[in-house]
Structure 1
Amino acid sequence: MGKPKGDRGPRRARSSLGQVSCLIKSDTLQSLVEGSNTSALPYSPPAQSYDTLFDGDGWDSFGTEPPSNIQPESNQDAYNYSQRPDDILPSIIAPAHQESPPSSIISQESHIRHITNQTAASTNAEENDLLLRLYFEHIQPVFPMFRKTLFYDELSANLIPPALLLSMFALSSRFAGASCDTDSGCLTQPQEYFDAAYKGFRQEMDRNRPVELNDVKTACLLALYDYTSAPSRRAWLLVRDAMSLALAARLHEIDSLDSLHEFSDAEKEERRFVWWTIWKLDSTVNVSTVTPFGVDCRMIGTALVSTTVQNFTANALGPIVPVIPEMDPVKSWSSILAPNLQDTGDGFNIHLYAVSLLRAVSECQQRLNAKLCPEELARADTLNRILSSLHLILPECFFSPTKRVVEQEHAHRLRLETNIMLNTFVFISVFTWFIC
């Protein structure tokens, strides 16, 4: 399939976008972006602990259901995304003459309204083009999961699931405040995009079909949106769903000895980016909630990425050198092959190693909270020594908040986030030693 030339991608995709754009219009956009820094994804630090996260009377007490048991069915055809929107999308965004049945999988706090035919007809392709442009400007550099030209090709061919597209809109519409003409009543509320995407996603999971890569991407974006809106039990469960689907799709063993050889180098690199994006999300969320992680790092058989985020997005992949990382920070940060020597140049892999360090000290803290034992005390001591050696492992300029002349904007932001990770590691380490 040929690539779009120039800016043809958005224009070619407008007919497909119309299938999922029949959504509720809001009078005003409740922007979640504070201040003038629209390049940063809004994040609300969680105010709950492991105990408060699970203080309900059962799964149904917070408005969701246990995940369906996903078993592949070899005799089931692939889903046809070119069907009529009314047949694909959840009932909450169907025309007003259809009654929307009550659903227990939508958050009770969500205010879901019916859409009229006039409102559906008023949605324009420019609005959807804007949301996709904002997504690739603000979300993709931090959570890279898409090759942009390939995405637009698949969108024009009706191969993008509506739930995935709506979840992208939910995130990118947060950044539309400065780009939208509010007098025209532009854009649906982010929460309404999320509600529609979430219900469509749950319905797709109930179909009990083999897990596709787009399913994993949708779960990741839904978890990201919900957790950065208001950390809750549902958000935590969505993170768990994303990790479970990634494991079901075998994204954790792309480069293992028994891995499938059905993918091209470009497809494998895309799956590596998706895997490490979800692994990072699972790790950081479970650190903040002080809960066990979704996967044992010793079971990971997927290599680090060999491409910068910018080149991956542009589908300009260079030579792929798959190297399965040592994610035990005691070994990786003490190795002669330091984390900064395994980076592609934009800080993505260094950031993963920083996450692994934060994850390790959180695991140590959780184990010591449960039971003091000599092994964990020794591990805490080793992690503390790594902490004191960070300025010897990484160059001094790495810790400077100033953007370097040759440093790209997304690389600068990623370096700042890595420094935040390392400082959080310092804080948790001090607390861990205090409880010892």
Structure 2
Amino acid sequence: MTVDLAAFAKEKGVKYFMISFTDLFGYQRAKLVPAAAISDMQSEGAGFAGFATWLDMSPADSDLFAIPDASSVIQLPWKRDVAWVAADCVMDGEFVEQAPRNTLKRLDEAARTQGLRVKTGVEAEYFLTLPDGSEISDPLDTAVKPCYDQQAVMRRYDVISEICDYMLELGWGPYQNDHEDANGQFEMNWDFDDALKTADKHSFFKFMVKSVAEKHGLRATFMPKPFKHLTGNGCHCHISMWNLDGSKNVFADGSMELGLSVEGRHFLGGIMAHAEALAAITNPVVNSYKRINAPRTMSGATWSPNSITWTGNNRTHMVRVPGPGRFELRLPDGAANPYLLQAVVIAAGLNGLEEKADPGKRYDIDMYAEGHLVQEAARLPLNLLDALRAYDSDARLKSSMGDSFSASYLKLKQTEWTSYTSHLTEWEIQNTLDI
């Protein structure tokens, strides 16, 4: 049933709506609209200049309109006179194909036309730092093995509990919060859901965490590797597939290896087949490859993959199957666009189903200690440029994600890489000035 946003505002005491969309680089763009104007905005959308965001547009393009999807509306628990609502981008009366939420909705619908609902959950890790991001916010958080540190998580109780209370209020089903493997790093988990709903929640979660951190005089960052010596921010994605009414997990089969059905293996086969190209979406920034290809961190492990392998309940591989009926993709990091992450998982998985893809050999070794013995497994890209080239070479994945989306994404990301390589670094000055 369609939500009437004007009636929602009246019932909830909302004065303003934040009509929000996510651009190709994962930045959230919004306009603050008074409740008195929301009826027009619900039908016509809020106007934006697309070129002013990270979309592949020019100043000469028509107005972009963000049409709010009223089913996604969330009243801000920390500022109750404002409500956030995810929006779909439209230009000249047509959905903008390159817009991330539109891309996900198209792929989600492609799955549903095959009688399938992809359900996912994410583990969005983040650091709490000083406002300038220069160091973690807790000077006492210095343990070599800080994961699950009881004292450290309690020193940030005010921030963590406030966020968790809000998730409880929103009905997300949060079930655990912990201090993660890096000093100053945290993770908060909530229930899995349909892929689009997970993407909306993931997007809102990042907004909420940053807002609450700022309220407490801190900064939250989801940057993949903000500190050289510490474990980076992952965004592990748990994936399962169901029939349309949600009564049957299509990935579950107790008679199969690890409880993963034939369909589950084919879906996983698609993920494995497209993994190198996948990285351009799941690990979308220059800094991402400092996490994937990191040396040992202070805690002793990076907790991130560097090769394209899968396993059972073993966290040293790109994909693990921790239990029947689902698998965990450990490749994505904190910079992953919430909508494109879900979209590319569905695209690769549907390709795998169509082609009856085999995920290949299962490895049960410790990849951190014995990975060098695995000669058959390809390495993940070493940098963003390699990932973009892999994506550009993967015609099937590009087509599945949408030709318009893929062309725009590659264009802007290659421009970003060129900008990065033109930057003169301190390392270059220190090591090559006297050549």
Q: Does TM, normalized by the shorter one, top 0.5?
A: no
Which has a greater percent of helix?
A: 1
When normalised by structure 1's length, the TM-score is: 0.35
When normalised by structure 2's length, the TM-score is: 0.35
